[in-house]
Amino acid sequence: MKIIFPESDNHYIVEAAEQLRQSSLCDPILRNSTLEEACKSVTSGEADALIAGIDYSSRDVILAARDFLGVEAPVFSEKNLFSSLFVAKFPDGRTLILSDGATCKHPTVEQLADIIRLTSAAAAKILDDEPRVALLSFSTFGSGGKDATMDLLREAKQLYLSKFPEAKVDGEMQLDAAINPRIGAKKAPNSEVAGRANVLIVPDINAGNILYKSFEQLAGAQVAGPILLGFKYPVSDLSRGSTAEDVVFTAECLARLA
């Protein structure tokens, strides 16, 4: 697995590349190049994947991926959609995948159904477990009364399940009901996902971004990503606050998608 890093003058990238070489997780290619040049290295076959964003802005990375790597055709949306996920590894050994906290700001029902699809497919490769997807809300199966975001989540779930009926996707539900077995059994006793979720989908980018940074800054999780979804090749847009260890973890996760 060859991953190109076009920000070779960043000391975290240099340190991460050395760790990757020593661990044999991948063969890092360090270049001080434009994003266009790095993308063309991937499409030409010189590299299998691209990791950037520790110095480049998210907008620059995403637009370069769109223009030079190409976007996969969506299933539910009328227009092309790209999304992202984070992989959070917690001190207690748990790993959770979260989407979308970096790319799609306010998804429609169709876009959210495609986000569920893209995230589930990636999670099946990244996790050593079957994806169990919880659609997060302030409400658990109607406990919050009525709200447009609850309707969004429910309709997206139904649309997704109409094409993938065997998938384990459920919601809307609160975070505690999604990941805590005791609370999940109490609040949603008939759900296959509640209390056992390992993939979390949020209704908009505000919730996703705040939640992933809470994982990192308050819960002590190590976070990989954002790993971009919907492109024709594996690509990650690093957080500009990433450390060398975060870069290594991101490369490890990205390698599973190639």
Tokens of 235: 């690509």
**What is the chain's pLDDT, residue by residue, as a tens digit (258 residues)?**
999 999 999 999 999 999 999 998 899 999 999 999 999 999 999 999 999 999 999 999 999 999 999 999 999 998 889 899 999 999 999 999 999 999 999 999 999 999 999 999 999 999 989 999 999 999 999 998 999 999 999 999 999 999 999 999 999 999 999 999 999 999 999 999 999 999 999 999 999 999 999 999 999 999 998 999 999 999 999 988 889 999 999 999 999 987
Helices (H), strands (E): how many in the chain?
9, 10
Alpha helices by DSSP H, listed for the chain, are 11-23, 35-43, 58-64, 109-126, 148-163, 175-179, 181-187, 205-217, 244-255
Neighbours of 154 (CB within 10 A): 17
Which CATH number goes with the domain that contains 28? Answer: 3.40.50.10950
Same domain flag for 168 and 124: yes
Same domain flag for 146 and 88: yes
Same domain flag for 94 and 163: yes
* pTM, full prediction: 0.93
Measured distance CA(229)–CA(82) in Å, rounded: 6
Max Cα separation, the chain?
54
Same domain flag for 49 and 128: no
